Amino acid sequence: MIWYLLAGWLEDFLVTINVRLIIRKKEITTSIISAISTFIYGVVLYNIFQAAMGWQAIGIYALGVGLGTYTGMKVKLKHD
């Protein structure tokens, strides 16, 4: 289950950083980050449905997403 927490954290951390970079018009970087975060999301959803983990896995994943958003906002980017 820790895998879902870490995957949720990583995915939303990347999405949050991505949004912050979009504002700065970093086209190449945001395209790469967007592809990586979408891949992670797809793998997690596939695993949740294949393993029939259900609501517990989704809840842990959602907790990771929340933590990823929080840490993504706390990270200082260059020129912040």
Kindly state whether residue 31 falls inside one of the protein's structural domains. yes
Number of domains in the chain: 1
**Per-residue pLDDT tens digits for 16-60:** 999 998 988 889 989 999 999 899 888 888 887 777 667 888 888
pLDDT of 50: 79
Kindly state whether residue 57 falls inside one of the protein's structural domains. yes
DSSP the chain: -HHHHHHHHHHHHHHHHHHHHHHTT-HHHHHHHHHHHHHHHHHHHHHHHHHT-THHHHHHHHHHHHHHHHHHHHSPPTT-
Global pTM exceeds 0.85: no
Kindly state whether residue 58 falls inside one of the protein's structural domains. yes
Q: Which domain holds residue 23?
A: 2-74
Kindly state whether residue 80 falls inside one of the protein's structural domains. no
Kindly state whether residue 24 falls inside one of the protein's structural domains. yes
pLDDT of 70: 93
76 falls in which pLDDT band (50, 70, 90)? confident
pLDDT of 2: 85
Statement: residue 80 has pLDDT above 70: no
